[in-house]
Amino acid sequence: MTILGNDPRNQPPGSAPDPDSDSGTDAGVDDAVDGSGDGKREQLAAITRRGDGERLTTNQGLGIVDDQNTLKVGDRGPALLEDFLLREKITHFDHERIPERVVHARGAAAHGYFQVYADQSALTKAAFLQDPAVRTPVFVRFSTVAGSRGSSDLARDVRGFAVKFYTTEGNYDLVGNNMPVFFIQDAIKFPDLVHAVKPEPHNEIPQAASAHDTFWDFISLMPEAMHMVLWVMSDRGIPRSLRMMEGFGVHSFRFVTADGTSSFVKFHWKPLLGVHSLIWPEALQVSGHDPDFHRRDLWEAIDGGAFPEWELGVQVVPEADEHRFAFDLLDATKLIPEELVPVQRIGKMTLNRNVDNYFAETEQVAFHAGHVVPGIDFSDDPLLAGRLFSYTDTQLLRLGGPNFHQIPINRPLASAHNHQRDGLHRQTIDAGRVAYSPNTLGGGCPMQVPSAAGGFSTHAATVTGDKRRRRGPKFFDHYSQAAMFLNSLADWEQAHLVAALQFELGKVVTAAVVERMLGQLQQVQPALAQRVSIGLGIPVPASIELPLNRSVPEDADPAAFASVPVDSSLLPSPALSMARRQPGGIATRCIAILAANGVDAGSVHAMQDALLAAGARSKIVAPHGGALHCADGSSMRIDHSLLTTRSVMFDAVFVAGGADSVAELARHSGARHFVHEAYWHFKTIAAVAEGCSLVDAADVGETLPDGSGADPGMLLLREGAVAPMIDGFIGAIGRHRHWERERAALRRG
């Protein structure tokens, strides 16, 4: 057994071993294996780097002057391949975890197809966006970002939304998230962001959570992150379902037409089921009952024929209008308000087939932001530049070598012909002796494809400027869009965001970090900082010196690069609020029907039929499993017992009639709690005849908690058959939640 430590063979050239060490002998080895551990600790200490008071260097010891900006042409130009600092940093980061993904490790995926609504040749020459009769196969992977493969689906986190189009011109990967912006502006900071949000390295705690010191220490030093922080702390960070969340390409890309006309484009995925989220207390319970909730929901929906659908939307900005906005189109921490540039919905994606093997498909699929087709090209977004390098580098490690494109799930439908050979896991058997170009021995094949014949050619853009590590001046408005997002939210959405910040910062132990974050929130909106501080029991500092913006060049005047004050003229954007979406149908919603022996079968069947006709599912929940004996002598199958499920797994609750049934339910504390919990998660509750008494026993009423009026989410029909209430019940479920109940509770105190 060999223990690495002060062995001279492990020292840098010219260094001497520690004279007090036992290197070169077996002293300390026995301690390391006999359980005392002292010798092992001493040996590990020699190769453990603490990081106290050190200067930043490369792995070769070269001092780094600027670790904040990629080397570019001009302030806004393309990133340069010669940036060895970027390549070393991201290469090391990409290879840090095997075999699961460094980020987006926990995923769920499905097959489907995309169909464009009409010919989009006026916008782009991409073939899959031309013919409405063509169905382009797709494979979509959803994921959380920070957690490992074994973490919960319900973490407050960004969700990945990656779509692989198997087009006739090759694979196109639209790799995005469920939020339109990101934490950082430049890819060189991506390893730092992920290191900060991951479990802290000294104890590997906490898993899949941002509520800890290192994340907020980093964020408090990065004013550019404030916009994204508010998105994650909003209810967008905990989707109700993968089928009910938006997707965004995040970056500005380019559309290019057949005649070479270029425009900037932002991609959106709009779910036809609407955008809905869980609330935090509910998410905590769902995570405990079923940490696979989102994955199971997607699987069961597709398996049951309720195929999820999204419309592809685009915001198109002519190249001539690149600079007409107050923000920079190349800044991934900014979005284009839909009121400025409307989203055009140009096609629809349907997921209609689950995977056959999770590992072979969901785990081995390899996405890459650089996989494009003719008609789609890149902008000079400095965050995108790093992604174009990082994806390939990551797949080389994760999937064992350069032939990951030959894994079945990654193979294009279009034929692939080139002179790339050999390597680990090569599956193609290449015949002949020619593996180079140009050649005559192989008839010149494979030959280059003219752009007019479908070949890809990079859009010709003029680039000027000095070679330096800088950003454009508009990149320094870090707070205006954060304030716009906050002001666009409904009162209950803002309240949830405040509570999330209180929870997260309440987990931070280092007081200086909390104070610095309150200072950053003060820059967004003083009232926001004040509301958060009340829950923390910490006053907003009267004055706090915020950190110098880390992206200020060393040779520049800091005043010229100070964060731009909030643009108070920026109006709220209704499109950013989930509250301002129109109520929709109840397709694929799951409704619990509470029942016990002696239930009125007629009321159950009438409700089940109506919900099914509206596209929803219903499940019988009873005090026990097996079957129910109904009042009319019939029986019905029980889907869940009160021991195996909770109200958080459902979108609404219906209590069926039947004196014996309700009497048994009323004696069961779990049934009363089921109704009570659903009420305080602001869901629709309905009851008929005797079922109303269970609602009464659950200590909830038909009026709002402060008595200010009737509760639209409570439908109690104390006499008669169920039929008259069905339409009202379905309409109330379509509202998703009844936030007036929460407002009334806050007014009551």
d(CA 181, CA 478): 12
CA–CA separation, 528 and 129 (whole Å): 44
Q: Which residues contact 259 (CB under 8 A, 6 or more apart)?
A: none
- Rounded Cα distance between 479 and 292, Å, is 36
**Per-residue CA distances from 529 to 492, 522, 536, 541 (Å):** 17, 5, 11, 10
Nearest to 85 by CA among 57, 105, 111, 112: 57
Tokens standing for residue 641: 């017992």
Sheet containing strand 590-594, strands side by side: 640-641, 617-622, 590-594, 652-655, 684-688, 714-717
What 3-state class would DSSP assign to 9? helix
From CA 138, how far away is CA 165, in angstroms rounded? 5
For the stretch 317-325, contacts whose Cβ atoms lie closer than 8 Å and that sit 24 or more positions apart, written own/partner, are 317/252, 317/263, 317/264, 317/265, 317/341, 318/263, 318/264, 319/261, 319/262, 319/263, 319/264, 322/264
Task: Identify which of 691, 686, 696, 689 has the alpha carbon closest to the alpha carbon of residue 721.
Answer: 689
- DSSP-derived secondary structure for 445-482: PSPP--GGGT----------S-EES---GGGG--SHHH
**Which of 306, 330, 436 shows the shortest CA–CA distance to 378?**
330
Instruction: Determine contact, residues 710/703, Cβ cutoff 8 Å.
Output: yes
Report the helix count and the strand count for the chain, using DSSP H and E.
19, 20
| Helices assigned H by DSSP within 144-198 | 190-197
Helix 226-233 vs helix 491-506: crossing angle, to nearest 10 = 100
Which pair of tokens denotes residue 127? Answer: 């073939």
Amino acid at 342: P
Q: Residues, the chain, total?
A: 749
Residues marked as catalytic = 104, 177
Q: In 3-state terms, what secondary structure has residue 619?
A: strand
